Amino acid sequence: MSLRGDVCVVTGACGFLGKRLVRLLLEEEKMAEIRLLDKRIELQFLQSLEDCKGETKLSAIEGDIRDGEFLKKACRGASVVFHVASIIDVSDSVKYSELYGVNVRGTQLLLEACIQENVMSFIYTSTIEVMGPNPKGEPIINGSEDTVYDSTLKFNYSKTKREAEERTLQAHGEVLQNGGQLATCALRPMYIYGEGCRFLLGHMDDGIRNRNVLFRMSLPEALVNPVYVGNVATAHLQAARSLKDPQKRIAVGGKFYFISDDTPPVSYSDFNHVMMSPLGFSIQEKLQLPLSLLYLFCFLLETLSIILRPFIRIIPPLNRQLLTMLNTPFSFSYQKAKRNLGYVPRYSWEEAHKRTIEWLASQLPAEREKIWSK
């Protein structure tokens, strides 16, 4: 099922995944219009799309996801919404009110705008972190949508993403103003990597400061399966096509899907090394402290930050939940997305690996200069 002639809205269009999704839509579908919605639209990004936009109208719409009237105007006349925008925070550095306002309230307002403006399909970008890992660090290996797990969450980010996902799925089947029905689904990507990944750049910067030695924060046996950004964009396109198809719409809607690809399972720290070893980086052989002592260290830092909070806000560089996430085997299969959505990774591991390394290599000189000039 093609999206030819449709009008779509992409929230977070100038973010890491949003940019890749917009380009894919332009390359794969002859849509009538793509509305790029973000708090700030980069002129350079718009100019970079000239080579592939064809006759598709590109509309840059700047505004706040927490503004209901703004969202209704952005959705007016659209048929599909890709809700990619959110605040990502794994260090608990963002105030809960702001996280909730953007991640939960913004999603609810967008769903309401879709209902009022007769938008037929809504695809929500969730995250693997709505599943866990839980504070006990209980592992999942090659899990599926049917995996039973005590997904007690401690990160405010994870909690707000899970509530937003729940609201999205509950909205499936809501009656639109014109009498039609809204169809929704949620995609749960693994850790997303690729060109433009700020987390990879951050780890590279740390390695540069440490004389080209990457820090080890994960045990080698804590296997996860990262997913390439191009494949996540492909999954979003397939989800939209499925929700538009009258035969698939009922079966696909109201459900979530794990999105991974054929990237080999590896620990987070070793994945950084896989990507950066061709650029001359090595990695620490062992954790800087035994894992139990690292947990104790994090506990002390967290306690200190709580004691000082009435006077000064201190964000510990590492916390127990992040340490748990980095050291828990946690991997998932994409087979249900393949069966129901027709999702097949567009990019092989070899190509994703090559593209990401080439991008990191292009960034390396500027990162070195930025760090050593300080």
Tell me, yes or no, whether 249 lies in a domain: yes
Question: CA 144, CA 140: separation in Å to the nearest integer?
Answer: 9
Question: CA 4, CA 208: separation in Å to the nearest integer?
Answer: 46
Q: Is 157 a catalytic residue?
A: yes
* pTM for the model: 0.95
| Active-site residue identified among 100, 124, 157, 193 | 157
Tell me, yes or no, whether 64 lies in a domain: yes
Tell me, yes or no, whether 344 lies in a domain: yes
Instruction: Give me the CATH number covering residue 18.
Output: 3.40.50.720
**Residues 96, 107 contacting (CB under 8 angstroms):** no
Tell me, yes or no, whether 205 lies in a domain: no
What pLDDT score was predicted for residue 374? 65
Phi, psi of 103 (to 5 degrees): -75, -40
| Residue pLDDT tens, the chain, 374 long | 789 899 999 999 999 999 999 999 999 998 899 999 999 998 889 888 988 888 899 999 999 999 999 999 999 999 999 999 999 998 888 989 999 999 999 999 999 999 999 999 999 999 999 999 999 999 999 999 999 999 888 889 999 999 999 999 999 999 999 999 999 999 999 999 999 999 999 999 999 999 999 999 999 999 999 999 999 999 999 999 999 998 888 889 999 999 999 999 999 999 999 999 999 999 999 998 999 999 999 999 889 888 888 888 888 888 899 999 999 999 999 999 999 999 999 999 999 999 999 999 999 998 988 888 76
Determine the structural domain holding residue 40 and report its residue range: 7-193+226-264+331-349
What pLDDT score was predicted for residue 372? 81
What pLDDT score was predicted for residue 44? 87
Q: Based on the structure, what is the number of domains in the chain? A: 1
What pLDDT score was predicted for residue 250? 87
> Residue 163 is which amino acid?
E
Question: CA 58, CA 74: separation in Å to the nearest integer?
Answer: 13
Question: CA 122, CA 80: separation in Å to the nearest integer?
Answer: 6
Tell me, yes or no, whether 56 lies in a domain: yes
Any idea of the CA torsion for 317, 319, 323, 325, to the nearest 10 degrees?
-110
